[in-house]
């Protein structure tokens, strides 16, 4: 099995990274201290350290000579120097990640993580450097263009779990930009978000029900793309799309009880996809969604249940589910014992020659 075939099996979730390395014999080819494992962990440690250093420098340049406790009352953030510092850090990480992506196995895995951190710093730099840009509702569209370029670059260099996170983040930002363009939602104030984080406050991120439905559709689309093999690894696509869609459905239910219909349909979809696509990941997400759905349904009738009531709410459906699993397991277990008799072994060369 060559490198590309083993990589595809890993991305499809058929085998693990370690199994792929064992098949390719990487451990036996490079057992020395300068092998791919050492490169991988050096890449992780170096990328994280440089990322933290850059973020600290950005914060320092954003608030020159300011007391963070009084930051909300005096002046604005000095965004240009901070943006330039983030840009330099992003260029370094993207360059190192690009070089590591030319390797194989563990070295290539490290490149995905380094590229992700470079993407995050690049996104931060874009937001800071273009913060003063004012094109009305078109501003988010212009700001997201460099983010799209960065995300596509890191994804194409090394399709992996970390770079798929970058790609998904870009899609979410792009959809949000179009929602602002069509005046469905308001643009998020980046400076307000930074100040809120620094001062320990909260930021109002409320969105309309239309935006939540669009975001839910994005999550379902990501699951479909993962199932079709458009984005890999498949399990990563299932987790990102499934959790994101479920969070949107949960948020919708928080606005009005009628949106529970979306939660019911989404839970049923998760469980159906888990069976039809043979995905334990979607099965786990569907199970969590089903358990939460029990409380959502009961909250329509009982706002504050007693401890005994809560035990009954989860105990009865749980017992039914376990009983169903036990019955199906007993049924399938009986069918699995009736296996076909093994075929007779092929004759050895010696016996074949004697018969001739």
In a domain, 344, yes or no: no
Tell me the pLDDT tens digit for each residue of 269-322: 999 999 999 999 999 999 999 999 999 999 998 888 889 889 999 999 999 999
In a domain, 25, yes or no: no
Check whether residue 155 and residue 283 sit in a common domain: no
Q: Is the pLDDT of residue 124 over 50?
A: yes
In a domain, 176, yes or no: yes
Output the average pLDDT for the chain. Answer: 82
In a domain, 337, yes or no: no
Q: Is the peptide bond before 89 cis (omega within 30 degrees of 0)?
A: no
In a domain, 21, yes or no: no
Check whether residue 233 and residue 165 sit in a common domain: no
Query: Among residues 152, 177, 203, which one ends one of the domains?
Result: 203
Q: For the ranges 34-43, 69-78, 108-117, which has the lowest average pLDDT?
A: 69-78
Check whether residue 199 and residue 213 sit in a common domain: no
Q: How confident is the model at residue 33 (pLDDT cuts 50, 70, 90)?
A: low
Check whether residue 273 and residue 232 sit in a common domain: yes
Q: For position 341, what pLDDT does the model report? A: 47
Check whether residue 195 and residue 210 sit in a common domain: no
Q: For position 205, what pLDDT does the model report? A: 52
In a domain, 351, yes or no: no
Tell me the pLDDT tens digit for each residue of 159-194: 999 999 999 999 999 999 999 898 888 776 655 555
Q: Is the peptide bond before 85 cis (omega within 30 degrees of 0)?
A: no
In a domain, 10, yes or no: no
Expressed as residue numbers, the domain containing 54 is 32-203
- DSSP states of 208-252: -HHHHHHHHHHHHHHHHHHHHTSSSSHHHHHHHHHHHHHHHHHHH
Check whether residue 192 and residue 225 sit in a common domain: no
Q: Are 56 and 47 in contact (CB under 8 A)?
A: no
In a domain, 136, yes or no: yes
Check whether residue 236 and residue 126 sit in a common domain: no
Sort 112 into a burial class: Cβ within 10 Å, 0-12 / 13-18 / 19+. buried
Check whether residue 217 and residue 254 sit in a common domain: yes
Check whether residue 161 and residue 83 sit in a common domain: yes
Q: For position 332, what pLDDT does the model report? A: 80
Query: Among residues 203, 232, 255, which one ends one of the domains?
Result: 203
Tell me the pLDDT tens digit for each residue of 208-230: 899 999 999 999 999 999 999 99
Report d(CA 276, CA 297) in Å as an integer: 26
- Total count of domains within the chain: 2
Check whether residue 322 and residue 252 sit in a common domain: yes
Name the residue with higher pLDDT: 72 or 250: 250
Report d(CA 338, CA 332) in Å as an integer: 10
Q: Which helix (H) or strand (E) holds 349?
A: helix 349-355
Check whether residue 186 and residue 65 sit in a common domain: yes
Task: Give me Rg for the CA atoms of the chain.
Answer: 26
Q: For the ranges 35-39, 96-100, 170-174, which has the lowest average pLDDT?
A: 35-39
Report d(CA 222, CA 200) in Å as an integer: 33
- Rounded mean pLDDT, 322-338: 77
List the helix and strand counts (H, then E) for the chain. 15, 0
Check whether residue 215 and residue 322 sit in a common domain: yes
Tell me the pLDDT tens digit for each residue of 59-73: 888 876 655 444 444
Query: Among residues 187, 203, 219, which one ends one of the domains?
Result: 203
């Amino acid at each position: 099995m060559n490198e590309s075939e083993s990589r595809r099996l890993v991305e499809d979730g058929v085998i693990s990274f370690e199994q792929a390395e064992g098949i390719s014999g990487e451990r036996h080819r490079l057992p020395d201290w300068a092998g791919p494992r050492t490169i991988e962990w050096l890449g992780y440690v170096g990328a994280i350290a440089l990322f933290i250093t850059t973020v600290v420098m950005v914060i320092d340049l954003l608030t020159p000579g300011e007391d963070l406790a009084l930051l909300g009352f005096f002046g604005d953030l000095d965004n240009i120097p901070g943006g330039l510092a983030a840009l330099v850090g992003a260029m370094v990480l993207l360059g190192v990640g690009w070089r590591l992506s030319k390797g194989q196995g563990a070295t290539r895995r490290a490149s995905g993580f380094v590229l992700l951190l470079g993407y995050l710093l690049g996104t931060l730099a874009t937001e800071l450097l273009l913060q003063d840009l004012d094109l009305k509702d078109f501003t988010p569209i212009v700001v997201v263009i460099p983010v799209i370029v960065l995300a596509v670059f890191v994804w194409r260099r090394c399709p992996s779990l970390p770079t798929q996170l970058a790609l998904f983040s870009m899609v979410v930002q792009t959809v949000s930009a179009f929602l602002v363009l069509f005046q469905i939602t308001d643009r998020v104030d980046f400076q307000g978000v930074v100040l809120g984080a620094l001062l320990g406050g909260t930021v109002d991120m409320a969105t309309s029900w239309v935006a939540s439905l669009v975001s839910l559709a994005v999550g379902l689309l990501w699951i479909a793309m993962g199932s079709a093999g458009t984005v890999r690894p498949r399990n990563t696509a299932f987790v990102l799309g499934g959790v994101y869609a479920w969070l949107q459905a949960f948020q919708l239910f928080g606005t009005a009880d009628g949106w529970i219909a979306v939660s019911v349909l989404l839970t049923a979809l998760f469980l159906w996809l888990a069976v039809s696509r043979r995905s334990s990941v979607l099965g786990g997400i569907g199970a969590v969604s089903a358990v939460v759905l029990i409380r959502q349904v009961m909250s329509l009738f009982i706002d504050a249940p007693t401890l005994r009531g809560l035990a009954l709410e989860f105990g009865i459906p749980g017992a039914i589910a376990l009983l169903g699993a036990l019955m199906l397991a007993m049924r399938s277990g009986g069918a699995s014992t009736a296996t076909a008799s093994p075929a007779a072994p092929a004759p050895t060369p010696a016996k074949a020659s004697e018969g001739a």
